[in-house]
């Protein structure tokens, strides 16, 4: 072995384990050692499952020796986020009041990772209630980016992003209702895939009630990884059927051929009204050049834009939050989440129920507009955020700052409203921090967005794993 196994991609680990060039015990032990070395500086992994993981790795090696059938992630170390159920673990979700909320069964995404042979070595941090773009809470504390102790690793999957970027595991499980996979990936130099609505099954048995309808329609599970091929591998593993999620759709992972045509969306009126800053413009140019070199036709043409979908996120979800979730946040949340959500509410005036129903209805029109556009131009290149990664505390400054930062990151909410797949892919550094772009495509065409992201990845330096700074 010419380099530490914790630096390897999941695909390389899985292939070497399958060929018995290395053992699952070797892979898990290397990642566990890396976790123990760097996690004290990051606070990314909040539950250490290394003892159980090492035991499971030995069982994985025995299964291979016996000739048992194995999955595509057999022996590969991963992490899971503390807001999904994992048998025997508390679904804390960054909240002290939930410390005894122990799951009796795995959620579908965890169950699917295990069925694929992945070995969970730890659980990762999230902000309280998983509703901030920064990962800090009063119960588990702050998670730090390996790139800078003064800048966010993103949220809500900030523990996952920090751990993958620092080499703890090659794949981290996350979820995304307003950018919680794509934004942490952007902040830490990773690939973050938000799959289509209905692609990966989800369910938490610890939940006391069903999620609100907008949450059901917009929240998805997805992987954070250091390479596109690992994101593709994780998607395959995570997306297997589970009857507990009636929204799951048996769509193929590979679709028919499509034109290699990409539209650039960077005009303020098509985003949240904020133009990309100079670093993000450079990132878009880098990505566009890479796609062009790979044979894509990169065009500037009129698209439906993300502005109306961005507005609908607030018109759909915030009324439901006020009625069904606000009391939980006030009762169980920490001061940070209460302040952050108060600023959101300050920016969204309370309206009647008819307005909420009209927003839910209008969503179909906006999705139709994009579906018609994608029939001719199947991919869009756009920003994850119009600004580089923020310094800590960016979402607790004021109501005015809160609305501006959401406009800076408008695609984070627009894409969930549309139910489309979106992938964050790094393009380089700006003043020592990672920057990148986002590729968005038609529903259930993750294959197209992954291929375009790979074309970008092949032409820019790989950023992770890195040693914490």
Q: Which of 29, 30, 81, 107 is catalytic?
A: 81
Strand ranges for 201-334 from DSSP E: 220-225, 261-265, 297-299
Active site residue 81: yes
Distance in angstroms (rounded) separating the CA atoms of residues 455 and 451: 6
How many Cα atoms within 13 Å fall on the side-chain side of residue 62?
6
Span 230-239, pLDDT tens digits = 999 999 999 9
DSSP code per residue over 164-192: HHTTS-SEEEEEESSSTTHHHHHHHT-EE
**Which pTM does this prediction carry?**
0.98
Residue 456 binned pLDDT confidence (cut-offs 50, 70, 90): very high
Residue range 185-212: mean pLDDT, rounded: 98
* Domain range annotation of the chain: 5-457
Q: What is the pLDDT, as a whole number, of residue 3?
A: 72
The topology under which CATH files domain 5-457 is Amidase signature (AS) enzymes (3.90.1300)
Nearest Cα residue to 380 out of 296, 321, 286, 464 = 296
Q: Which of 145, 156, 162, 239 is catalytic?
A: 156
Q: Which of 163, 180, 196, 227 is catalytic?
A: 180
Pair 31, 77: CB distance under 8 Å:
yes
pLDDT exceeds cutoff 50 at 178: yes
Active site residue 156: yes
Pair 333, 327: CB distance under 8 Å:
no
Residue range 280-299: mean pLDDT, rounded: 98
Residue range 115-126: mean pLDDT, rounded: 99
Mean pLDDT of the chain: 97
Distance in angstroms (rounded) separating the CA atoms of residues 149 and 146: 7
Q: What is the 3-state secondary structure (H, E, C) of 59-112?
A: HHHHHHHCCCCCCCCCCCEEEEECCCCCCCCECCCCCHHHCCCECCCCCHHHHH
Span 241-262, pLDDT tens digits = 999 999 999 999 999 999 999 9
Q: What is the pLDDT, as a whole number, of residue 1?
A: 46
């Amino acid at each position: 072995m010419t380099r530490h196994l914790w630096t390897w991609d999941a695909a390389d680990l899985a292939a070497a384990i399958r060929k018995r060039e290395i053992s699952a015990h070797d892979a898990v032990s290397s990642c566990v050692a890396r976790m123990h070395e760097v996690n004290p500086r990051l606070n990314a992994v909040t539950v250490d499952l290394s003892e159980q993981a090492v035991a499971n790795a030995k069982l994985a090696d025995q299964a291979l020796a016996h000739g048992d059938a194995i999955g595509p992630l057999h022996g590969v170390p991963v992490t899971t986020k503390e807001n999904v159920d994992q048998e025997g673990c508390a679904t804390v979700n960054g909240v002290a009041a939930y410390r005894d909320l122990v799951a009796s069964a795995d959620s579908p995404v965890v169950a699917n990772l295990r069925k694929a042979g992945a070995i969970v070595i730890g659980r990762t941090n999230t902000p309280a209630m998983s509703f901030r773009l920064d990962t800090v809470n009063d119960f588990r504390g702050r998670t730090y980016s390996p790139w800078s102790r003064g800048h966010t690793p993103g949220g809500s999957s900030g523990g996952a992003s920090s751990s993958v970027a620092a080499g703890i595991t090659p794949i981290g499980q996350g979820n995304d209702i307003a950018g919680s996979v794509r934004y942490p990936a952007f902040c830490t130099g990773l690939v973050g895939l938000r799959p289509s609505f209905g692609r990966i099954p989800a369910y938490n048995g610890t939940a006391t009630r069903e999620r609100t309808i907008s949450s059901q329609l917009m929240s998805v599970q997805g992987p954070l990884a250091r390479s596109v091929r690992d994101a593709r591998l994780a998607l395959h593993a995570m997306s297997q059927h589970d009857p507990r999620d009636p929204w799951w759709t048996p769509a193929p992972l590979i679709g028919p051929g499509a034109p290699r045509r990409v539209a650039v969306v960077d005009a303020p009126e098509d985003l949240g009204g904020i133009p990309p800053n100079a670093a993000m413009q450079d990132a878009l140019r880098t990505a566009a050049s890479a796609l062009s070199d790979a044979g894509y036709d990169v065009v500037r043409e009129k698209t439906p834009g993300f502005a109306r979908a961005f507005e609908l996120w607030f018109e759909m979800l915030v009324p439901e939050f006020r009625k069904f979730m606000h009391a939980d946040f006030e009762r169980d949340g920490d001061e940070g989440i209460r302040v952050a959500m108060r600023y959101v509410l300050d920016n969204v005036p309370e309206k009647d129920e008819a307005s909420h129903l009209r927003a839910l209805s209008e969503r179909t029109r906006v999705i139709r507009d994009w579906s018609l556009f994608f029939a001719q131009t199947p991919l869009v290149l756009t920003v994850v955020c119009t600004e580089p990664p923020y310094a800590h505390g960016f979402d607790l400054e004021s109501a005015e700052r809160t609305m501006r930062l959401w406009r800076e990151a408008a695609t984070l909410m627009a894409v969930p409203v549309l139910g489309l797949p979106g992938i964050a892919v790094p393009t380089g550094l700006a003043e020592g921090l990672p920057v990148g772009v986002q590729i968005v495509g038609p529903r259930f065409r993750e294959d197209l967005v992954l291929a375009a992201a790979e074309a970008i990845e092949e032409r820019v330096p790989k950023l992770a794993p890195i040693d914490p700074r």
